[in-house]
Chains A and B, each alone.
Chain A
């Protein structure tokens, strides 16, 4: 069992950084708009299907279609915000809660209707196969996904801290009214935030489709994990979601190895509950 520990740590860190990339969009939307995006998993599914069909229909490898899928998801996010989410932001809190839930159910069922509930998987992508380290093994798809995730995180962090638009997003998230008074077009900031959040999800979906099967409900469990990560790392905190993702990945693998895989989700949600009890705003929340 001891020599499995290193393998589990590697698996945990790799999967964890992918979970984190999925969660970062959710944390952005929450941080800026105070909306929990329950359709997060469904949008992830959309990104994965876009990647899948780009490869199947036009022979475009996931690695190449990645920026296009991200762009597509940006517009899907922008569109979703301006057609539905914007309308309910001024409505009762329950409507805000339910709207993304409804969008999620709609998208999943639309996918079942359009593409059937079959499981599909890409073969022979540019990055396939495994790489070896010591006595440990990891699929190349996962390694590339994890490395890209780190780069994307750094870029997102830089964008928020150093660019005018990023600062506007931050200002809006701290106080919408004050930002409005300072001359920031908060409507536009909201739309862009939703778009960027989904674009990041698009990157995650594209990377995931390299080594993971696609089907209409593929996002369910990822969405649930993202929620735990966001709550763990702190609502609205980008570094928090990264650390949260790694923690969940490690807890799932190392906990699963030593305590039994049947308890791995119990372990994850026990950690989440523990953190929320001690620090209700999450590790990096403010």
Chain B
């Protein structure tokens, strides 16, 4: 009897799930775009965050809002009679292979005309191979591996800055610290060893050499690891001044806890990506303080860009919490795509590709001068900021002219 009840229960859940997926048939004048994200798997919380960014972007593009960013005040794509964008999400599970077949499915079975997303560079790499082969414009605003825009792809465009720019920015910041008389020479690099992290490490090594810093520890690791004790032991044994970390969420939590457990206090911790996630911040609490984190966005920037406040208010209304930097990253691509389709007056791949090449638009809620693509299809105005957590809000500490807070250096210690 119990067995039957459970069986019926499972069946009911499955039925509800399948019904939820079908939805209603699309109305006329709908342009479908595809988005592959890690919606399950160990990077899923970030993937879901990215998904919310895309959903909000589409809401703003499709509706009318009095916000001073492109395509907010008009409904849909103006040149196509207000055509609506519709996003179809597919799950990569964080795996390049699954992401690849998800992209093929979106294009072949769902008929998407353009692609955004992927988040993990390793997945973006395989998804973009599919879109390139099938002539589908792909605007990415959430993957940072420099190699993505160095393959000479015709249909792949990147709005956000890449890890080459990031490494340069990080060391320019260290140079500035050095000039102020701070002790920075010995650098420890720790990075997850998939497409993204290993290229972060590679670019940081190149930049360290160029800027004249000494790499005292070079620690790649697997981000699905259950324990980082040996990683931390290697880092601590090298006695670095600065630890540069590139982690996703779970590994970022493990590292922060291990550093704290050993009461390890270098001059500074520098981090990125996983450290921006809301669930990382919740998991480690006050231990996230004083990490100098690479980002492109924080809510503190609203002082300079008023639209951020309005966009975040909409976001809060829809999702019940503030926008994370990762949600904002993914928020950007649909606007660039909408702009290209609008100027192309069509969804024809060649026309949209041509329009993308000629992109010259405002950067919306980002602090960049604008969006224009260079010969590699990398947005030439994209740049990073460095930020530090203060009273549960990230504040910009670099570049100095955009800073909303003076950098706390050296790292004051755990529980301070």
- A interface residues (Cβ-Cβ under 8 A, vs B): 1, 4, 7-8, 11-12, 15, 79, 82-83, 106, 108-110, 112-113, 116-121, 123, 130, 137-139, 211, 213, 215-217, 220-222, 225, 252-257, 260-262, 264-265
B237, A1: Cβ atoms closer than 8 Å: yes
B280-304 vs A, Cβ < 8 Å mask (1 yes, 0 no): 1011110000000000000000000
Closest to B193 in A: A262
Q: Which of A79, A113, A130 contacts B6 (CB 8 A)?
A: A79
Q: Are A265 and B222 in contact (CB under 8 A)?
A: yes
**B44 touches A (CB below 8 Å):** yes
The reply to whether B280 and A119 contact each other, CB–CB distance below 8 Å, is: yes
Q: How far is the CB of A78 from chain B (nearest CB, A)?
A: 10
Whether the pair A216, B253 counts as a contact (CB closer than 8 A) is no
Interchain CB contact under 8 A, A217 and B42: yes
Q: Decide: B40 and A261 in contact? CB cutoff 8 A.
A: no
- Within 202-246 of B, Cβ neighbours of A (below 8 Å) are at 219-222, 224-231, 233-234, 236-237
B226 engages A15 (CB within 8 Å): yes
Q: Which of B45, B220, B277 contacts A116 (CB 8 A)?
A: B45
The secondary structure that dominates the B interface is: helix
Selected A-B contacts with CB under 8 Å, 30 pairs? A4-B234, A12-B229, A79-B2, A83-B6, A83-B7, A112-B40, A116-B45, A117-B40, A117-B41, A117-B45, A117-B48, A118-B278, A120-B282, A121-B253, A137-B261, A137-B262, A137-B263, A216-B40, A217-B40, A220-B42, A221-B225, A253-B230, A256-B234, A261-B219, A261-B225, A261-B228, A262-B193, A262-B222, A264-B222, A265-B225
Q: Who on chain A is nearest to B94 by CB?
A: A217
Minimal beta-carbon separation of A52 from chain B (angstroms): 12
A8 touches B229 (CB 8 A): yes
> Which of A79, A83, A113, A253 lies in contact with B229, CB distance below 8 A?
A253
Interface contact A109-B229, CB-CB below 8 Å: no
Question: Any chain A CB within 8 A of the CB of B59?
Answer: no
Q: Which residues of A contact B227 (CB under 8 A)?
A: 11, 15, 252-253
Return the chain A residue nearest B4 by Cβ.
Answer: A83
Summarize A's interface: helix, strand, loop or mixed.
Answer: helix
- Per-residue contact bits, chain B 251-278, to A (CB 8 Å; 1 contact, 0 not): 0010001000111000000000000011
State whether A139 touches B250 (Cβ < 8 A). no
- Smallest beta-carbon distance A142→chain B, Å: 9
> Roughly how many angstroms separate A261 CA and B6 CA in the complex, as a whole number?
44
In the complex, how many angstroms separate the beta carbon of A39 from the nearest chain B beta carbon? 14
Q: Is B19 an interface residue (CB 8 A)?
A: no
With A8-B233, A117-B44, A213-B283 as known contacts, state yes or no: A130 contacts B261, CB within 8 Å. yes
Nearest CB in chain B: distance from A70 CB, A? 20
A12 to B148, CA, bound (A): 38
> In the complex, which residues of chain B have a beta carbon less than 8 angstroms from the beta carbon of A82?
2-3
A215 & B42 in contact (Cβ 8 Å cutoff):
yes
A110-B13, A217-B40 known; A257-B230 Cβ under 8 A? yes
